[in-house]
Structure 1
């Protein structure tokens, strides 16, 4: 079961019957999901509400497919409603003034998408491979904590991460695959199907470690490609407030529904003061192998129009090519597996355009 789906269901379940204006999500202290088993810890000031709250939780989660729902109670209210909560920072404080450069990284580039399913990780991995093919020292950071696919696409699933003591503290040593330094939460999970069920503070701590406590090797990285989760959530905001990035690349497909989310992504990066270097349109067209005729399967693209409207550029278009997915599953980016393919050439051109934007 998806964590976000469970949280959304709890948010919709109100407690007005007992005269409380909160939802179940408002009184949630902890949550754990294992398959279709859900365990909740809810705040309740009195035992007389236990049966009512347990019933409300079951009514909210069973339609999602939950087969076992355990509900425990605590008399400690959620942290966000405790009176001891720290006051918000004063309005004049700049939340970005304490951002730090990522150690031993010359250029840090975030690859993002407004929605899932547009091939963001495929673009991030192949962009890293394209830059490596041009002779640069490249690292790939899989910051998609809930869906780490980078190790699979880079053929690094079996790589081991070791710890290392340094004068400034312990760090994790990034393993290497195809000449690219790689770090992902996927390396630290017991198995591929182990879900990451982390609440905010734990997630932010892990992200902070991935940004500032990784040994990327003896040589400084020319580029660090940071593969973000889809959407405009906490990871993106936290990244923008803690690390100095040199820019962001937004991945989309030609459909209008995807381009709507591109606009949101651009606005989000503007709010966290990260320049948008450009947009990459994935699955842009299909080249028929029989006659080399180009088909725009998802309709005529409006991406370049959106890019101009929001003051950025279209870095390039990637065609639909079955070999891209095939080699991704085998752990070899298409740029390295078939450098003469249409997709590989497109990725190399995008890398060139990215370098030009960074040099301005």
Structure 2
């Protein structure tokens, strides 16, 4: 089997099914051919797609005559040269090819390892807190499959305008410039049924084709979908993010996913600013007594274990959900509430960490 013929075949094998724009040859790190036996080493910073990549590579190599295929993975960046391969070009680590989002000074991603922890509530109120402090703020709802930003910011009837050059002009809600796929759908009941490549293109447009400001935004809050999937990987590959905030509840089942989230951001080279513990406790309005409904928190232990910190703890207050349904962040609707004070404190700590 000819070495160059194998490389040419790998170049023609795209990986668009998982929402990335490179081929098997782009992630090839080593290869050895002995008769009809082939050994290859592929770059992959996460084991999420190992099964897919292995099946894809085996199928391609067997189609060109390989009888024995051995595949190994590595998370190390590419070397300058590869044994036995006459590299036509220096291979790049796809996670290092990033660019700044136009007209934005600081970009903060708000994420959660699992759903149901109030991530969007934190993201929206963090944007509102920064706005209350006098900053120019944008909010990008990157949860393509479950956009809640338009509801929580009272922007369901807002229209997105487009310039002649194709750039999108985001509407404004409560002084916050915001963009969401929910603003572009025929109705809020319309589901988004997209595969990886379409999702990748839409997210790229949201990141780089929005005219956020005449001058510059001070902060852009990106509300990510829960989990560690395609959107997070795409973000890590394409955009320079100044830091990520991970939202959790005190439950152990949520903290397990916090660990996964921290490791995922480390792999895509996005620094973790800290953890926000949402629904941390409940204060009875009649007695003033504090109740830890989800049990004693272990978030501090996780933060120390992964060399980060707790940015703040947000209590359970019915007004947060009530105002969210009305489209008004509690930070703006009830400034004297415990939740509002917690969000303001969290915003202050984030600013200090980003300006150190």
Could you tell me which residue of structure 2 aligns to residue 334 of structure 1?
330
CA distance in 2, matches of 1:297, 1:161: 41
Could you tell me which residue of structure 1 aligns to residue 184 of structure 2?
188
Could you tell me which residue of structure 1 aligns to residue 239 of structure 2?
243
**1:209 lines up with 2:209 in the alignment:** no
**1:353 lines up with 2:336 in the alignment:** no
Could you tell me which residue of structure 1 aligns to residue 86 of structure 2?
none
CA distance in 1, matches of 2:57, 2:333: 50
Could you tell me which residue of structure 2 aligns to residue 159 of structure 1?
158
Comparing 91-100 with 147-156, greater Cα deviation is found at 91-100
Could you tell me which residue of structure 2 aligns to residue 227 of structure 1?
223
Within 5 A, what are the aligned runs for 1:67-86? Answer: none
Mark the runs of 5 or more structure 1 residues left unpaired by the alignment.
Answer: 1-28, 30-77
CA distance in 1, matches of 2:164, 2:129: 32
Could you tell me which residue of structure 1 aligns to residue 26 of structure 2?
none
Deviation at 1:82, TM superposition (A): 6.4
User: Residue 220 of structure 2: SS of its match in structure 1?
Assistant: strand
**1:91 lines up with 2:91 in the alignment:** no
User: Residue 244 of structure 1: SS of its match in structure 2?
Assistant: coil
CA distance in 2, matches of 1:106, 1:138: 10
Cα contact 1:140–1:180 (8 A) shared by 2: yes
Moved over 3 A (4+): 78-84, 88-92
**1:273 lines up with 2:269 in the alignment:** yes
Deviation at 1:165, TM superposition (A): 2.2
Could you tell me which residue of structure 1 aligns to residue 69 of structure 2?
none
1:16-63 deviations in Å (ceiling 9; x for gaps) = xxxxxxxxxxxxx9xxxxxxxxxxxxxxxxxxxxxxxxxxxxxxxxxx
Cα contact 1:174–1:217 (8 A) shared by 2: no
Mark the runs of 5 or more structure 2 residues left unpaired by the alignment.
Answer: 1-16, 18-55, 64-72, 80-91
Deviation at 1:96, TM superposition (A): 2.7
Give the number of equivalent residue pairs.
278
Deviation at 1:304, TM superposition (A): 1.2
Could you tell me which residue of structure 2 aligns to residue 108 of structure 1?
107
Deviation at 1:91, TM superposition (A): 3.5
TM-score, normalisation: structure 2: 0.75
Cα contact 1:252–1:279 (8 A) shared by 2: yes
Cα contact 1:132–1:180 (8 A) shared by 2: yes
**1:320 lines up with 2:320 in the alignment:** no
Q: CA 1:115/1:177 → structure 2, altered by over 3 Å: closer, same or farther?
A: same
**1:264 lines up with 2:260 in the alignment:** yes
1:195-220 deviations in Å (ceiling 9; x for gaps) = 00000000000000000000112131
Could you tell me which residue of structure 1 aligns to residue 291 of structure 2?
295
Deviation at 1:291, TM superposition (A): 1.4
Within 5 A, what are the aligned runs for 1:116-195? Answer: 116-166=115-165, 170-195=166-191
Deviation at 1:104, TM superposition (A): 0.2
User: Residue 279 of structure 1: SS of its match in structure 2?
Assistant: strand
CA distance in 2, matches of 1:340, 1:219: 33
CA distance in 2, matches of 1:219, 1:285: 41
CA distance in 2, matches of 1:145, 1:127: 20
Comparing 108-117 with 297-306, greater Cα deviation is found at 297-306
CA distance in 1, matches of 2:210, 2:58: 32
User: Residue 96 of structure 1: SS of its match in structure 2?
Assistant: helix
User: Residue 238 of structure 1: SS of its match in structure 2?
Assistant: helix
CA distance in 2, matches of 1:182, 1:203: 19
Comparing 144-153 with 95-104, greater Cα deviation is found at 95-104
CA distance in 1, matches of 2:57, 2:296: 49
Deviation at 1:81, TM superposition (A): 5.7
The CA RMSD over aligned residues, in Å, is 2.0
TM-score, normalisation: structure 1: 0.75
